[in-house]
């Protein structure tokens, strides 16, 4: 996809791309939540886990770089990067949550939005 096609990128395509970039940085337990009709401010959540705060930052960096480089897209805002136990990246249609394992277990977003359809994203390693 070229930069000229950005306007045509759907939320589902954006969520899939972000999940792939997270997987490239070895994120684990990647899940896409389809929040269309459930939530007013975003269509999808992509939730991923990094084993350490350093890996959480690396996952953020990978997503940020690839979305900018490939699609010319920057998040509207990023929160939590200094502490890196929960980094939120807001791409408007897609909100990305990158957690350390302990923080993800504490907030349990998948259970909070349990009525939303979810799709676990298999890692490239699992698919092989």
Query: So what's the pLDDT on residue 89?
Result: 98
Token pair of 50 as six digits: 């990094």
Domains in the chain, start-ordered, CATH in brackets?
Answer: 3-127 (3.30.460.10)
49-104: per-residue pLDDT in tens? 999 999 999 999 999 999 999 999 999 999 999 999 999 999 999 999 999 999 99
Does residue 3 surpass a pLDDT of 60?
A: no
CA distance 96 to 18: 8
**24 CB burial (10 A radius; 0-12, 13-18, 19+):** middle
This model's pTM is above 0.85:
yes
* Chain Cα centroid distance, residue 18: 5
Mean confidence (pLDDT) of the chain: 90
Q: What is the mean pLDDT of residues 20-48?
A: 94
97-108: per-residue pLDDT in tens? 999 999 999 999
HSE (side-chain half, CA atoms, 13 Å) at 66: 19
């Amino acid at each position: 996809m070229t930069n000229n096609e950005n306007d045509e990128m759907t939320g589902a395509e954006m969520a899939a791309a972000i999940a792939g970039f997270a997987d490239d940085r070895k994120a684990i337990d990647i899940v896409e939540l389809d929040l269309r009709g459930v939530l007013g401010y975003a269509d999808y959540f992509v939730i991923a886990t990094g084993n350490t705060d350093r890996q959480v930052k690396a996952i953020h960096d990978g997503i940020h770089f690839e979305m900018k480089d490939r699609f010319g897209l920057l998040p509207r805002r990023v929160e939590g990067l200094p502490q890196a136990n929960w980094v939120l990246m807001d791409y408007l249609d897609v909100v990305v949550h990158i957690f350390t394992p302990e923080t993800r277990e504490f907030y349990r977003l998948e259970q909070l939005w349990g009525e939303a359809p979810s799709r676990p994203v298999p890692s490239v390693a699992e698919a092989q």
